Structure 1
Amino acid sequence: MSRFKELRKKIGLTQEELIEQFNLNYGKRYTPAAISQFENDKRIPETHSLADFANFFGVSIEYLLGRESPIPSIQLCPEEEELIRAYRRAPANITVAISKLLEPYSKDDA
């Protein structure tokens, strides 16, 4: 299974949901056929979209392309997992608002 498909399934989205959310949030026009090709390693996203897909999935471009090992995972409780899935399904204006609300809490005090 490609990293692309693995990541989509990990965040709990169907191909259709992924297309809807990604296209809306990044101003793209990907089709189900394109996503299927990415997931079956028949095609990789255009260079200018790789960073957007990596950002969408919360991974590096190198990881998305299979050139880097997975980042050690953080154990999440079911409530946290559902919040992440809901955030990723939310429209762009909602995710922007949530990000702004959480910004003061998102940086570690080093």
Structure 2
Amino acid sequence: MGNFNSVFRSLRIEAGYTQDGLAEILGISRSAVSMYENGNREPDFETLEQIADLFQVDIDYLLGRTGKPVKTVNDYEPSYEDIQSLVARNGRKLSVEQKQEIIRTLLSD
């Protein structure tokens, strides 16, 4: 996967996550994070999507295909399915208050 391992490690460090902390957020083991960073293992597509979403970067950036690191809202118009998928993938990690805030935000438009 090109230079995924170095991009991944840099993003983790810049965001201030430990390997343990990032593993917990992603729902993977700390050893998986370590193997990704050392280039001994590559994430599956679902995990790659989670990593991109967490760090708000494009998958192509993670894979070293582009130098554009940050996804912006202007990069695409999210569909209902995009929003539904994000909530479904990350819903377990959100507190009740965070879920209520998302609902209030969506209803305010």
Does the pair score TM above 0.5?
A: yes
Any unmatched runs of 5+ in structure 2? Answer: 71-91
Unaligned runs of 5+ in 1: 24-29, 73-90
> By how many angstroms is 1:96 displaced?
3.8
CA RMSD after TM alignment: 2.8
Given candidates 7, 10, 23, the residue that maps to 1:6 is: 10
TM-score (norm 1): 0.60
Greater helix percent: which structure? Answer: 2
How many pairs does the alignment contain?
83
- Identical residues among aligned pairs (%): 30
TM-score (norm 2): 0.60
Instruction: Tell me if the contact between 2:26 and 2:47 (Cα under 8 Å) persists in the aligned partners.
Output: no
Greater mean deviation of Cα atoms: 93-102 or 4-13? 93-102
In structure 2, the CA distance between the partners of 1:100 and 1:61, relative to structure 1 (3 Å rule), is: same
Report the equivalent of 2:24: 20
Q: 1:98 to 1:50 in 2, by over 3 A?
A: same
Per-residue deviation, residues 54-84 of structure 1 (Å, max 9, x unmatched)? 1111111111111110337xxxxxxxxxxxx
Q: Following superposition of structure 1 onto structure 2, how do residues 4-83 of structure 1 map, counting pairs within 5 Å? A: 4-23=8-27, 30-71=28-69
